[in-house]
């Protein structure tokens, strides 16, 4: 069986407001910029990208479940769900795909409640605090893990 040449890009709650919400923390780039960056980075290795963003946890979990049949890995910024969602973590663990966790800001230097990630133990790649360019780095590192 050949490995699918597709990645799933998952962006959690409020990331649809990139470029508008707290630009001093998250910058001026938009979600469309993030999706274009990941798509271009993956294309360099011959991979496609399916992108999903939702403010609803179940939508993200359903997308992760669907990825198990046609994706080689997942790049995810769970946003606020990073710190609260065991269900999202279990979905990532359950599909048994390599996961890259990415955060635009350095969550380790922000409010104390942001210091814990439920995703951390299921991710093989962690890129934190590199701004939107961190998505490209996370994608490249994930592709290295996949052997692309």
90 is in an annotated binding site: yes
State the catalytic residue, choosing from 26, 65, 116, 126: 26
Using DSSP's 3-state secondary structure scheme, residue 44 falls into: coil
104 is in an annotated binding site: yes
What gap in Å lies between CA 102 and CA 132, rounded to an integer? 9
Q: Active-site residue 26, yes or no?
A: yes
Q: Active-site residue 103, yes or no?
A: yes
State the catalytic residue, choosing from 56, 65, 103, 126: 103
33 is in an annotated binding site: no
Q: Specify the DSSP element, H or E, that contains 42.
A: helix 31-43
Q: Which of 148, 80, 88, 73 is nearest to 121 (CA)?
A: 88
83 is in an annotated binding site: yes
Using DSSP's 3-state secondary structure scheme, residue 124 falls into: coil
146 is in an annotated binding site: no
What gap in Å lies between CA 35 and CA 21, rounded to an integer? 17
Q: Which residues are annotated as a binding site for substrate?
A: 77, 83, 90, 104-105, 114
Binding residues: 77, 83, 90, 104-105, 114
- Catalytic residues, by residue number, are 26, 103
């Amino acid at each position: 069986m050949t490995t699918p040449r597709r990645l799933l890009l998952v962006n959690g709650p409020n990331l649809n407001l990139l470029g508008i919400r707290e630009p001093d923390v998250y910058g001026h780039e938009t979600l469309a910029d993030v999706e274009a960056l990941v798509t271009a980075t993956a294309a360099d290795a011959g991979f496609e990208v399916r992108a999903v963003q939702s403010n609803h946890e179940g939508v993200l979990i359903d997308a992760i479940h669907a990825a198990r049949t046609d994706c080689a890995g997942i790049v995810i910024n769970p946003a606020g769900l990073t710190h609260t969602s065991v269900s999202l973590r279990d979905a990532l663990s359950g599909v048994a795909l390599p996961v890259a966790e990415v955060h635009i800001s350095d969550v380790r230097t922000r409010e104390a409640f942001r210091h814990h990630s439920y995703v951390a133990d299921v991710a093989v790649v962690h890129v934190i605090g590199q701004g939107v360019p961190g998505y490209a780095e996370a994608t490249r590192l994930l592709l290295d893990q996949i052997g692309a």
